[in-house]
Each structure stands twice: as structure tokens, then as C-alpha cells.
Amino acid sequence: MARTFFNGLLASAFDPMNEAERVALLEKTRQAAESGRFEPFKTAPNYDGPFSRRMHGIR
């Protein structure tokens, strides 16, 4: 019950970013996001399952 109450407090205090803040954040993180360096499971074929590997011709 305490967790639900705490989550309600967090949600009621939520203040979304305005457009300028959102653009600034995206620009600040653009270089890291484009390289895929921090998310190899999204960019490296060796993280695919057997079905996807066969589908793409990867052994």
C-alpha cells in the first residue's frame, strides 16, 4: 500500500519537459545514441536468436 501511495505522489508531481528541454536533451545525447555503442543488443547480429540469425543468413 505504501508503494502505491508513493507512486501516486510521484505521478502527481510529474512535470513533463517542454519542447526546448526535450530538444536540448536529444542534442546532448545524439552522438552516443547514433553509434549504438551502449546498446549492442540492438546493433550487433550476435544478439539475435536462432530464427533471426537464419533469416538473415548469419551462422
Per-residue pLDDT, 34: 86
Has residue 56 got a pLDDT over 90? no
Contact 47, 40 (CB under 8 A): yes
Quote the pLDDT of residue 15: 94
pTM: 0.52
Per-residue pLDDT of 5-54, as tens digits, reads: 999 999 999 999 999 999 999 999 999 888 878 887 776 777 778 887 78
Give the pLDDT confidence score for residue 36 in this predicted structure: 77
Rounded to whole angstroms, the Cα distance separating 41 from 49 reads 11
- pLDDT number for residue 16: 94
